[in-house]
């Protein structure tokens, strides 16, 4: 379970998160929507401790992420994150990309890591690209590789930060299909996205971020069907 309690976070004088509270139980698929700069992506990087927070706290399975004694490297093993920019390691083949952290962080043997990498890469439809370097892949393929790389660490949670935003329109579908598949398999996921149709389909709940707070959170039928706040009504009118 991920528990976020009254988290505040500023970059300089700009307060990006203004008291965000949210609980994501195991197995839930939560999508986060909202305008650019509303703090959605920042929240994700705070959850796995890549960004410090100013106040409040975040608990992952009861462990406080930003507490002094927390072993972040250990904690990050159970939280996979995939970014808008897929960040393939260009000097490694697709297979090696997915094997590296398994070997160095989890201490898996070469054979174990390779078997798991092959399994995950097949899972996201890259079974025929194992020995290729990332520069030979399309953006959508690189993004799916990044997903496989995170999944190979056997995480309990997956965070997706606008994973389709940097892709050409025709490549968005293949990545969203991968996310749908994961959701269907019961992975606990928080997806920051601009794809409203996708959010409507896969989510258990949808959170609408506005100016650093969660303005509205509800199951998709409710949130999209009967938006309560004028901000959300305006946002939806603009995006559809």
Contacts with other proteins by CB under 8 A lie at: 48, 50, 73-74, 76-77, 80-81, 83, 85, 87, 89-92, 100-101, 104-106, 133-135, 146, 149-150, 153
Q: Where are the beta strands (DSSP E) in 145-187?
A: 157-161
Report how far residue 80's alpha carbon sits from residue 70's, in angstroms, rounded to the nearest whole number.
Answer: 17
Of 84 and 211, the one with the shorter C-beta distance to other proteins is: 84
Residue 68: strand, helix, or coil: coil
**Token pair of 13 as six digits:** 């004088």
Report how far residue 71's alpha carbon sits from residue 75's, in angstroms, rounded to the nearest whole number.
Answer: 6
CB of 91 to other proteins, least distance (A): 5
* 31 beta partners: 191, 206
Of 49 and 212, the one with the shorter C-beta distance to other proteins is: 49
Of 15 and 89, the one with the shorter C-beta distance to other proteins is: 89
CB of 213 to other proteins, least distance (A): 25
Question: Are 4 and 21 contacting, i.e. CB atoms less than 8 angstroms apart?
Answer: yes
CB of 154 to other proteins, least distance (A): 11
CB of 79 to other proteins, least distance (A): 8
Give the position of tokens 């009504």.
Answer: 233
């Amino acid at each position: 379970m991920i528990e976020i309690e009254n988290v505040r976070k500023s970059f300089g004088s700009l307060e990006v998160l203004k008291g965000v509270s949210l609980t994501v139980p195991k197995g839930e698929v939560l999508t986060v929507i909202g305008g650019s700069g509303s703090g959605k992506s920042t929240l994700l990087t705070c959850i796995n401790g890549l960004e410090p927070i100013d106040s409040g706290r975040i608990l992952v399975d009861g462990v406080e992420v930003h507490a002094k004694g927390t072993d972040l490297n250990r904690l990050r093993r159970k939280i996979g994150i995939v970014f808008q920019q897929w960040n393939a390691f260009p000097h490694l083949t697709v297979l090696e990309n997915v094997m590296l952290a398994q070997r160095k962080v989890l201490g898996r043997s070469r054979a174990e890591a390779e078997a798991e990498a092959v399994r995950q890469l097949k899972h996201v439809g890259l079974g025929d690209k194992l020995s290729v370097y990332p520069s030979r892949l399309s953006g959508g393929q690189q993004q799916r590789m990044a997903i496989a790389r995170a999944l190979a660490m056997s995480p309990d949670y997956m965070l997706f930060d606008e994973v389709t935003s940097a892709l050409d329109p025709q490549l968005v579908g293949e990545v969203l299909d991968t996310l749908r598949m994961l959701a269907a398999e019961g992975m606990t996921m928080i997806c920051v996205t601009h794809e409203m149709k996708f959010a409507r389909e896969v989510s258990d709940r949808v959170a609408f971020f506005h100016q650093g707070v969660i303005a509205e959170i509800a199951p998709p039928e409710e949130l999209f069907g009967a938006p309560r706040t004028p901000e959300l009504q305006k946002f939806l009118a603009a995006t559809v």
